[in-house]
């Protein structure tokens, strides 16, 4: 524990210091919904154990095929959305209201698309993305024209992306995949197969695929860029993480408490919006932690613990790719740091940890204590509060911990008010 006076806020419990630090202002960038989904879709790749950028490459190839088929801009946007979310269901594993999961991961993927506000045709395309032209696909064994063209396009793009991943480099993939591909017909039918072949023959395809920031260059028609798109998409990703962890509402609670703590600390409105996004995305990296570890009803082994702890950095690495969210990524990375320097991943101490991260730590830990774990029941409100208080000065910033009761009251009052209205 920090005992000398040099540890700033942590040691002094000085709220004035917190207020001064709270003046750091991070503003949410203005982005399109699809751009946010594209960048954060890297979290689905983690869950699918696919090479990074898989979902984006499938979306990109889907778009190129759709261009080739001369679809309308709105239809192209739906194709891209379906490509990005085709395997989102693998990350979620089951929807909150449907734990039996009868339709498999494609049905859950459709649920994810609905959460983002994508229309029925996107949802249907995801459901049908494992159907085959010859009728031997899943889950319904649809054939030929009965399969939505969006689904055929995504499946064609998926095939090409997987094939390309199988070669040691893109140059090699390019020369191999330019040969006529007879095996495509029974999977995707003549029209889409032909479109895919011309996409794979174009040099531009391979140039684009080798570029590092494909996610931000999908360039689809999807409304005006805005900060609320960022907040809305973050909320959906929070819901996806909750569904994967089977802890409904968790990310909303963490974000709401964090925002209240920020308000108590005197942070300006723009900063509170950024804190909201950080609260929603704090555990994004958990999508890459295998379920046998997240759900283990016993103490984790050292390697399992290390895998679990990687969620802070893996989530931050993804969020960092959103232009303007670099600071938010830093807070996410530091949300399990402790002010006594015994946290992870960097063992930062006291005010080396950004104030928003110290806030996230308190909000996140409180919510964790209040919910059930495979190895213990949930703590009651008073008990959980007591545990946070006893960690003030070691695990938690005492100034932040001391604001928690007021913040919880404010969150409770807001949720009462919204229930009443």
Binding site for Fe ion (CB under 5 A): 87, 283
For residues 283 and 340, which CB has a smaller minimum distance to Fe ion in the complex? 283
**Contact of 263 with 255, CB cutoff 8 Å:** no
Closest CA to 200 of 192, 52, 35: 192
Residue 325: alpha-carbon gap to chain centroid? 13
- For the CB of residue 420, give the shortest distance to Fe ion in the complex, in Å: 32
Judged by beta carbon, residue 131 or residue 283, the one nearer Fe ion is 283
Give me the least distance between CB of 225 and Fe ion, in Å please. Answer: 27
Unique residue bearing structure tokens 């699809």: 34
Q: Which residue is nearest to Fe ion (CB)?
A: 87
The least distance separating Fe ion from the CB of residue 215, rounded to whole angstroms, comes to 15
Q: How far apart are CA 109 and CA 124, in angstroms?
A: 10
**Separation CA 155–CA 147 (nearest Å):** 11
Task: Give 197 or 283: the residue with its C-beta nearer to Fe ion.
Answer: 283
- CB of 92 vs Fe ion, minimal distance in Å: 14
Cβ closer to Fe ion: 31 or 276?
276
What is each CA distance from 132 to 65, 89, 103, 274, in whole angstroms?
Answer: 17, 19, 16, 43
Cα angle for residues 44, 297, 334 (degrees, 5° grid): 50
Rounded to the nearest whole angstrom, what is the least distance from the CB of residue 50 to Fe ion in the complex? Answer: 6
Q: How far is the CB of 310 from Fe ion (least distance, A)?
A: 11
Given a contact cutoff of 8 angstroms between Cβ atoms, the answer to whether 402 and 260 are in contact is no
Nearest approach in angstroms of CB 145 to Fe ion is: 24
CA 400 from chain centre, in angstroms, equals: 27
**Three-class SS of residue 95?**
strand
Q: Considering the complex, what minimum distance in angstroms separates the CB of residue 239 from Fe ion?
A: 16
Taking the least distance from each CB to Fe ion, the nearer of 154 and 236 is: 154
Given a contact cutoff of 8 angstroms between Cβ atoms, the answer to whether 93 and 292 are in contact is no
CB 201 within 8 A of CB 247: no
For residue 226, the cross-strand partners are 31
Helices (H), 146-184: 149-165, 170-177
Is 420 exposed, middle or buried (CB count within 10 Å of its CB: 0-12, 13-18, 19+)? exposed
Q: Which is nearer to Fe ion, 47 or 236 (CB)?
A: 47
Report the Cα 235 to chain-centroid distance in Å: 9
Q: Which is nearer to Fe ion, 11 or 160 (CB)?
A: 160
289/403 with CB nearer Fe ion: 289
């Amino acid at each position: 524990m920090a005992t000398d006076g040099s540890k700033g806020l942590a040691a002094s419990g000085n709220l004035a210091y917190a207020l001064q630090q709270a003046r750091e202002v991070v503003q949410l960038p203005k982005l399109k919904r699809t751009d946010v989904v594209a960048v954060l879709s890297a979290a689905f790749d983690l869950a699918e154990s696919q090479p990074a950028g898989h979902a984006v490459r499938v979306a990109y190839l889907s778009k190129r095929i759709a261009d080739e088929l001369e679809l309308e801009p709105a239809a192209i946007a739906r194709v891209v959305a379906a490509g990005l979310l085709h395997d989102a269901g693998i990350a979620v594993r089951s929807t909150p209201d449907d734990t039996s999961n009868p339709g498999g991961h494609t049905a859950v993927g459709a649920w994810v698309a609905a959460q983002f506000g994508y229309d029925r045709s996107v949802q249907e395309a995801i459901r049908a993305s494992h159907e085959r032209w010859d009728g031997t696909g899943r889950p319904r064994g649809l054939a030929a024209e009965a399969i939505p063209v969006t689904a055929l396009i995504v499946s064609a793009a998926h095939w090409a992306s997987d094939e390309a991943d199988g070669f040691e480099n893109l140059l090699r993939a390019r020369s191999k995949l330019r040969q006529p591909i007879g095996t495509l017909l029974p999977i995707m039918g003549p029209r889409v197969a032909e479109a895919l072949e011309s996409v794979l023959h174009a040099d531009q395809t391979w140039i684009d695929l080798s570029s590092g920031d494909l996610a931000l260059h999908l360039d689809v028609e999807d409304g005006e860029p805005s900060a609320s798109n960022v907040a809305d998409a973050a909320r959906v990703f929070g819901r996806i993480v909750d569904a994967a962890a089977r802890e409904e509402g968790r990310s909303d609670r963490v974000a709401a408490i964090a925002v209240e703590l920020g308000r108590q600390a005197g942070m300006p409105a723009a900063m509170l919006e950024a804190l909201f996004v950080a609260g929603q995305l704090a555990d994004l990296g958990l999508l890459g932690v295998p379920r046998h570890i997240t759900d283990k009803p016993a103490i984790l082994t050292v390697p399992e613990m290390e895998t679990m702890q990687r969620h802070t950095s893996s989530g931050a690495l993804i969020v960092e790719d959103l232009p303007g969210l670099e600071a938010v990524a830093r807070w996410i990375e530091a949300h399990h740091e402790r002010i006594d320097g015994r946290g992870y991943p960097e063992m930062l101490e006291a005010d080396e940890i950004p104030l928003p991260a110290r806030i996230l730590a308190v909000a996140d830990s409180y919510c964790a204590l209040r919910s059930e774990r495979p190895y213990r029941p949930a703590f009651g409100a008073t008990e959980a509060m007591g545990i946070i208080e006893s960690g003030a000065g070691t695990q938690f910033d005492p100034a932040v911990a001391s604001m928690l009761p007021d913040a919880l009251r404010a969150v409770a009052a807001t949720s009462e008010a919204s229930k009443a209205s």
